[in-house]
Structure 1
Amino acid sequence: MLYNVLVVSEPTRYRPHNLKPNILYGGRFVKRLLDEKTLLLQIGIKRKVMYRRAKTFGYTHPLVVSCSQELDVLINRYLENQSIQDSSLSYLHK
């Protein structure tokens, strides 16, 4: 399925009737997509490290707790990026 894509530097009110929500605004969409993939990769790696440390040292060891906190930061950053992306595309559905 092909979509028409409009590339502009700033969001505008111009919106053809057949335009889909995957619009590139000056490459920001691609950058967000790469950031999302990078964060998901970091989350997966950190999760595996935390599980290994928990298996070795126990759940309450300071190394495991600090790894868990770092994982929380990565997950919060990912969720924040998701909410920003959702809110930036919400005007397309009006």
Structure 2
Amino acid sequence: MVRFGRLRADVAFVGANGVSAGFGLSTPDADEAAVKAAIVRSARRVVLLVDSSKFDEETLVSFASLEDIDALITDSAPTGALAAAFADADVEVVIA
């Protein structure tokens, strides 16, 4: 079995069930959160792929902060406190 800590991905693309300014990226599944946290820690660049329905949502387990993310690809720009938090974390926001 290969451990994520022994890998060094150039780019990791991750999804999340919730994205909030204070709680960061989250999922309702603790095992999934552990795997995603390890992937985020091991990658050189982390790209978050979520649609805007995930904005300002918090689910059970946080697996990364906004500061851990390099870029966000989404369908609509975040607004309010979440937009400010992405800007403060220097996250590139791409609307696709």
TM class, shorter-chain normalised?
A: under 0.3
- TM-score, structure 2 normalization: 0.20
More helix by share: 1
| Larger relative contact order (Cα-Cα within 8 Å, sequence gap ≥ 6) | 2
Q: Which of these two proteins has the greater Rg computed from alpha carbons? A: 1
- TM-score, structure 1 normalization: 0.21
